[in-house]
């Protein structure tokens, strides 16, 4: 990956930083490939137990780099088709990769999360925002629809009528409005510090149970009831009696920090 998407792993937590602060972290064409490479790296690193997603500088992400509107994108039809085993195309993967990462992804939002930037944030499992942050589904301003997996990543986050009102008008929401609508999990003066605090707490839990929980939440919430209940039981059976589950019990009984294997 280039320096536009930085991944730093420390004590089981991966911090992923969108790193174009001079462009308000607007997403360039090359960054779409970098998001996929980031997903592949995180999927292949069993030591990672949580991910913090943030933006360098004063903003999370201002959306697509507007220079792309005037550019000829090579192999556009291929890029707009599902990529390998993923149901998402290359552009949708900017948001959808965070669903495909097997551990919780916690997004820290400061400044603006506009258009594509909001959709990337919606791909995370948890979103913390500063009180001064701003949000917008902005694609209508360019005569386009939001098409970076919003139909998949927003469906369990915000009521569809609130999302439609945002998308049809392109208006900018304050952080308080975003929190009230469900776009944001919580407001905090230092969203990155709060995200790291939550990620550290997650990383201290059984990685097997955490990964199983994410699978349950990703796949079970939209599944028919019978399928969701089967999945829940299957995941639980896969955890019971395993070394990390036994260690969780011992640590709790002995009132000490658990020592989990990756």
Do residues 85 and 23 share a domain?
yes
Would you say residue 259 lies in a domain? no
Reading the chain (262 residues) residue by residue, the pLDDT tens digits are 569 999 999 999 999 999 999 999 999 999 999 999 999 999 999 999 999 999 999 999 999 998 888 788 889 899 999 999 999 999 999 999 999 999 999 999 999 999 999 999 999 999 999 999 999 999 999 999 999 999 999 998 999 999 999 999 999 999 999 999 999 999 999 999 999 999 999 999 999 999 999 999 999 999 999 999 999 999 999 999 999 999 999 999 999 999 999 9
Cα–Cα separations (whole angstroms), residue 234 to 94, 216, 219, 248? 30, 10, 13, 19
Q: Encode pLDDT of 71-108 as tens digits.
A: 888 898 999 999 999 999 999 999 999 999 999 999 99
Do residues 145 and 178 share a domain?
yes
Would you say residue 97 lies in a domain? yes
- Find the length of the chain: 262
pTM of the model: 0.95
What CATH number is associated with residue 171?
3.90.226.10
Report the C-alpha dihedral over residues 252, 253, 257, 262, rounded to 10 degrees: -70
Do residues 196 and 232 share a domain?
no
Do residues 177 and 225 share a domain?
no
Residue 105 bridge partners (DSSP) = 51
Q: Please tell me the total count of domains within the chain.
A: 2
Do residues 17 and 75 share a domain?
yes
Classify each residue of 133-171 as buried b or exposed e, where b means 16 or more C-beta atoms within 10 Å of its C-beta: bbbbbbbbeeeeebebbbebbbeebbeeebbeebbeeee
Report whether 104 contacts 214 (CB < 8 A).
Answer: yes
Range of the structural domain that residue 14 is part of: 5-202
Q: Which of 162, 181, 202 is the last residue of a domain?
A: 202
Kindly report the number of other CB atoms within 10 A of residue 7's CB atom: 17
Do residues 9 and 127 share a domain?
yes
Q: Encode pLDDT of 41-58 as tens digits.
A: 999 999 999 999 999 999
Do residues 249 and 166 share a domain?
no
Q: What values do phi and psi take at 230, rounded to 5?
A: -65, -45
Write down the pLDDT at residue 58.
97
């Amino acid at each position: 990956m280039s320096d536009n998407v930085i991944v730093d792993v420390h004590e089981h937590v991966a911090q992923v930083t969108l790193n174009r602060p001079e462009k308000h972290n607007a997403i360039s064409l090359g960054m779409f490939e970098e998001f996929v490479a980031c997903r592949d790296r995180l999927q292949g690193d069993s030591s990672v137990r949580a991910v913090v997603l943030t933006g360098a500088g004063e903003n999370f992400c201002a959306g697509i780099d507007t220079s792309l509107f005037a550019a000829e994108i090579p192999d556009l039809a291929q890029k707009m088709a599902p990529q390998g085993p993923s149901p998402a195309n290359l552009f949708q993967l900017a948001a959808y990769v965070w669903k495909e990462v097997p551990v919780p992804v916690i997004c820290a939002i400061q400044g603006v999360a506009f258009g594509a930037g909001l959709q990337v944030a919606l791909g995370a499992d948890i979103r913390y925002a500063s009180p001064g942050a701003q949000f917008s589904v902005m694609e209508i301003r360019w005569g386009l629809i939001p098409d970076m997996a919003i139909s998949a990543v927003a469906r369990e986050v915000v009521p569809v009528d609130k999302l439609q009102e945002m998308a049809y008008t392109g208006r900018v929401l304050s952080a308080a409005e975003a929190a009230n609508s469900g776009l944001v999990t919580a407001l905090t003066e230092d969203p990155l510090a709060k995200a790291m605090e939550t990620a550290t707490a997650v990383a201290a839990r059984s990685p097997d149970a955490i990964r199983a929980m994410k699978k349950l939440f990703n796949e079970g919430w939209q599944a028919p009831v019978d399928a969701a209940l089967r999945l829940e039981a299957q995941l639980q059976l896969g955890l019971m009696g395993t070394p990390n589950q036994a260690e969780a019990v011992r640590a709790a009984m002995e009132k000490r920090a658990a020592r989990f294997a990756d």
